[in-house]
Homo-oligomer: A and B are copies of this chain.
Amino acid sequence: MSEEKENIQFQLTDELIDKVELLVEQGNDTELQKLLVEFHYADIAEILDELNLDQAVYVIKLLDSETTSDILKELDEGIREKVLRSLSTKEIAEEVEELDSDDAADIIAELPEERQQAVIEQIEDEEHKAEITELLTYDEDSAGGLMAKELVKVYETWTVAGCMRRIRGQAEEVTRVHSVYVVNKEEKLIGRLSLKDLIVAKNEKKIADIVKVNVDYVNVNENVEEVAKIMAKYDLEAIPVVDDNKTLLGRITIDDIVDVMKEEAEKDYQLAAGITSDVEADDSILELTKARLPWLLIGMFGGIGAASIINGFSDAMLKFPALLMFIPLIQATAGNVGVQSSAIVVQGLTNNTVDGKILSRLLKEFFLGLVNGLAIAAIVLVISHFVFETSYLESLTICVALITVIIMAALIGTFVPIFLDKRGIDAAVATGPFITTSNDVFGIFIYFLIAKMILQF
């Protein structure tokens, strides 16, 4: 079983890649197989990610479909798409034949509409075909879209001994047996058993007597992020998926949830950094531009906005040039505070630690801003006065503006994400450039207002 390959020592070195490329060029199949058979399929996938398409396809076609199906599953999505395009629907059907229903459905879902049907039709195992067809009907962000049909199911009326016999049968096609799910004759989920429980129990016992009822389960339409939260909170390794009648439909395993969590974390991280769509360092310049330019444009319009504000106060500026020097300081501080506040709130929302109480939270941010503002203003006061020799009124203006801007930025950074979240919008978009830009413009505007008041221009 590829799953059992040694892999801790695996290192994706340039030498290794060169070696594989060379063997492919030479068409030295025996050597290539001898080399690759040593590796775990996840490692082979990493190697293929580095090869060009022809080389990758060559390797795929060389290896046995049990291994290649697992490799396909692990390939970088962009590369998998290319590889699948250069495989016939028959070949894809053979790969899919080897995979668990959930992985099979995921791969077929990536194919263009017209090919999907062709592939499904060529799947020989009728049960597998039916399972995949069912899974394709669920939303990919729902429990149904993540679950696998493979599970071990027993009926409450069975005995432990009979149960063990049946499990020997069913277990063959289930990669990992976390739990044995117990259903009644209407196929409704009534509980679970761990293999441990079965092994420990007496053979003649009835399942109904040892089953653990009140088992965790999720509805097939539950959102995957919610499923992830539940499994993480209750330390579950697998959770059964049921329909509205509590009929057992499938199960979700923790390894799928781990992937969901990673994607979520990366998405939020990128949003906070002002990257819209999910991109990787290795994507094309076009893809990266598409992901990055939008936020840069927003930042640009913010800058234009700031320009017109300064323009509006230009004559005053000529009277108090010293004020201009501190525009970058005001701007940077406003941006930083806003990002900090929003990030903490966004994280709180994701972990459900931020509840509805907006007012108390805003009050807290107010004091937080006041403390930080006073600290920074004090330092700036000294520096501006002694280093830049600004007049008392100018120094006063700068400090009052700093404190006000910091407080406003903290409040905006806190309010906007909570507001968006209440509107059902992903609050993560409200971090990074979005909050920075709005705070930049806002901060500069406040700066000049305060200057106007104190310096009376």
Contacts and interface: CB of A to CB of B under 8 A. Distances in A.
Interface centre among A259, A273, A307, A433 (most CB of B within 10 A): A273
Interface residues of A, number: 128
A16 interface: no
Interface string A187-210: 000000011100110000000000
Interface string A301-327: 011101110110010011001001111
Contact of A234 (B40, B310, B333, B376): B40
A287 to B, nearest CB: 10
B274 A272 contact: no
A432 interface: yes
Contacts of A65: none
B42 A368 contact: no
Contacts of A332: 299-300, 302-303, 306, 331, 335, 436-437, 440
Copies in the complex: 2
A181 interface: no
A1 interface: yes
Interface in A378-434: 379-380, 383-384, 387-388, 406, 431-433
A4 interface: yes
B274 A340 contact: yes
Contacts of A6: 214, 216
A273 B437 CA distance: 14
A270 interface: yes
Interface of A: 1, 3-8, 12, 40, 42, 164, 167-168, 171-172, 174, 176-178, 194-196, 199-200, 212-218, 230, 232-237, 254-255, 257-259, 261-262, 265-266, 268-270, 272-275, 279-282, 285, 288-289, 292-293, 295-297, 299-300, 302-304, 306-308, 310-311, 314, 317-318, 321, 324-333, 335-337, 339-340, 342-345, 347-348, 351-354, 361, 364, 367-368, 371-372, 375-376, 379-380, 383-384, 387-388, 406, 431-433, 436-437, 440-441, 444
15 contacts: A4-B215, A6-B216, A12-B352, A176-B237, A177-B196, A237-B255, A254-B254, A261-B261, A273-B340, A281-B361, A300-B332, A303-B329, A306-B325, A324-B324, A332-B437
